[in-house]
Amino acid sequence: DGGITQSPKYLFRKEGQNVTLSCEQNLNHDAMYWYRQDPGQGLRLIYYSQIVNDFQKGDIAEGYSVSREKKESFPLTVTSAQKNPTAFYLCASTYGGPGYTFGSGTRLTVV
């Protein structure tokens, strides 16, 4: 079945570490997105990519980095510059129309 796979489901990061969240889709969608979810703030856009080898900053890109070397993959790296990374991270994709597919998310906790 087509869909988006996010891994891992839970991730723990020590202070000062970089960590990478995986997002893979087999839907042949061109556009992919990373959202951060915090209580009471809804989903905020971190980065998005509409085509391979190209991506744009969203509203809260500071402390994060992405790459889009393959159409199927859009990994998100949370760097040590992100001061408050504990959150739930959702990946999404779309073919360009109004339909979006979401992954099941990664819960990142700083320990």
Residues that bind another protein (CB under 8 A): 31, 33, 35, 40-45, 48, 50, 58, 88, 90, 92, 94, 96, 98-100, 102, 104-105
Distance of closest approach, residue 103 Cβ to another protein, in angstroms:
9
Residue 76's contacts (CB-CB under 8 Å, 6 or more residues apart) are 20, 21, 23, 34, 46, 47, 64, 65, 66, 89, 91
Q: Which amino acid is at 55?
A: F
Which candidate, 86, 103, 89, places its Cα nearest to that of 12?
86
Nearer to another protein, 65 or 88 (CB): 88
Nearer to another protein, 71 or 80 (CB): 71
Nearer to another protein, 58 or 75 (CB): 58
Distance of closest approach, residue 80 Cβ to another protein, in angstroms:
26
Distance of closest approach, residue 32 Cβ to another protein, in angstroms:
10
Token pair listed for 92 = 């999404």
Distance of closest approach, residue 45 Cβ to another protein, in angstroms:
6
Residue 1's contacts (CB-CB under 8 Å, 6 or more residues apart) are none
